[in-house]
Chain A
Amino acid sequence: MQKTTNRYWWLMPLSLLSAFLWQHWPLSPALRAVAPDAILLVTLHWIWRKPHAIGSGVLFLIGLFRDGVEGSALGQHALALILTGYFVQIFHQRLRMFAVWQQSLTICLLTCFYLMTCNWLHLLHYPTNMGFSFFWPAVTTGLCWPLLHLLLNTMEQGFLRRPA
């Protein structure tokens, strides 16, 4: 484990950067409305994997960076990410015992919570009513979880097994 944190430390920032790029990749509005929340997905994966390495300070920085990029109210994504991450940090041992479909469902619910918090904070600053369509990304995020979790895990394991 020590070896991973030392030698493959770059996997986490790299995956986060890729998530940021994916999240802001130019897509058609219809596709963007249902696209999975990549930043949340990758962040949750890393909390899941290393709950003690990622504290609320790191989550705050990721959230603040996202607020800056998206131009939303400062602290909006930061607070939502800290709260969502807190659940995973508390329950990570129990969550690891779940079957894949249960994990997906949990991620879906966590994303719902995240989006709801974001939307609520967003509405304080910006009173528009767009209905409940903002929940769509939760479904796709839940569905993408097994893929991403598998991909990042395999990458990490693969690097570990490879002789240095």
Chain B
Amino acid sequence: MPALLSLSLLGAGYYRPESVQGLRNALADYAALPVYWLTTFPKHIWEWTDEQLSSRDELQERNLALEHENLILQQKVLRMAALMAENSRLKELLNSTELVEDSVLVAELLGVSPDPDRQEVLIHRGKADKVFEGQPVLDAYGLVGSAIEVSEHTTRVLLITDATNAVPIQVSRNGVRGIAEGSGRPDELYIRNLVPTTDIHEGDLIVSSGLGGRYPPGYPVGEVIRTEYDGTDPFLRVVVRPSARLDRSQQLLVVFRPEAKILSVPVVEPEKPTENITAGKPSAEKQQVEKPASKQTVNEPPAAIKRATDKSPADRPVTTNKKSHAKNH
């Protein structure tokens, strides 16, 4: 009888996945979450003891180092803002369409799929944090993957190296486009179907191209480690090592990307200045469509930094400068 039950569950999952989605989500919240939490428990204990036992001098030293780092990063953000303003002016000149800045939510890694066949991780954010299916996930070094199954408090993320995943990419040096397919192993991606004369070399940085609309453009995907061509194949095969530390990162970033209305929205002159939107609400109606205003963009980041630092960065959606400039034609 239970065998028949599991067969019918399998059948239902195969033909009508939505009918068992509720049970899957419940199991993810009430089975996966406690089990994975327990497996990370010793690590939490260790971190807690380490924190409790670290001396005041050590903490001060660390604080100082972090303050310095923060100062340097703030300076970089300011510089970045100026560059972005310049970039949007240039894009305007080029009749280009969009310049969107993403906001992110910090998510803690909960567990890694024990099945070596699947490159999947579980993160401790879910519908409660307004995570949605298909959402891109990054770490501090590059693109990690996208959310495939969102339950109330957890989300399964399909890594870019999974054999069923593919990312539209381009070479950052010259803009050559391609598709990076997962290899099923955590350290390699393949770009197939490039003509053998394509200008792509070892050491080239590969970034996401944003085509296909699933992954945002411009995030590092990996670095070319070798190109394989044996003369008999019609195509070149490029092997890429992912930039993201897929097997090491503990903190991931879920990206909320304001959807840029590219061609369908008429130009709207803004009445009031664009307001910062919290990361949790990437709704389209809150976006202000405006011409890229250089002065305002330059002035924006310090305020954003202030807001971001006012909140606790680990527990809340980090508010970054989330503005969308859409220029359309």
Contact = CB atoms under 8 A, between A and B. Distances in A.
B94 interface: no
Contacts of B3: 56, 60, 79, 82-83
Interface in B16-60: 20, 23-24, 26-28, 30-32, 35-36, 38-40
B27 A130 contact: no
A29 B120 contact: no
A121 B247 CA distance: 27
Interface in A93-141: 121-122, 124-128, 130, 133-134
Interface string A39-60: 0000000000000000011011
B111 interface: yes
A70 B112 contact: no
Interface residues of A, number: 41
A73 B27 contact: no
Nearest to A128: B163
A21 B184 CA distance: 24
Interface stretch (A2-10, A61-69, A145-153, A156-164): A61-69
A92 B36 CA distance: 33
Given A75-B6, A125-B13, A125-B14, A29 B1 contact: no
Contact of B6 (A21, A25, A82): A82
B114 A24 contact: yes
B117 A64 contact: no
A54 to B, nearest CB: 12
A26 interface: yes
A69 B31 contact: yes
Nearest to A119: B117
Contact of B10 (A32, A121, A126): A121
Interface size class of B (residues with CB under 8 A): 35 or more
B112 A75 contact: no
B10 A74 contact: yes
B36 A128 contact: no
Contacts of A76: 10
Q: Give chain A's interface secondary structure class.
A: helix
Contacts of A126: 117-118, 164
B32 A75 contact: no
B184 A24 contact: no
A56 B112 contact: no
A28 B243 CA distance: 18
A78 interface: yes
A144 B48 CA distance: 34
A63 B2 CA distance: 11
A64 B27 contact: yes
Contacts of A21: 35, 38-39
B194 to A, nearest CB: 23
Contacts of B156: 71
A57 B14 contact: no
Contacts of A68: 24, 26-28, 30-32
B117 A128 contact: yes
Contact of A29 (B9, B26, B111, B116): B116
B262 interface: no
Interface string B87-129: 0000000000000000000000001111111101010000000
Interface of B: 1-3, 5-10, 13-14, 20, 23-24, 26-28, 30-32, 35-36, 38-40, 111-118, 120, 122, 149, 156, 163-164, 184-186, 247
Interface of A: 20-21, 23-26, 28-29, 32-33, 56-57, 59-60, 63-65, 67-76, 78-79, 82-83, 121-122, 124-128, 130, 133-134
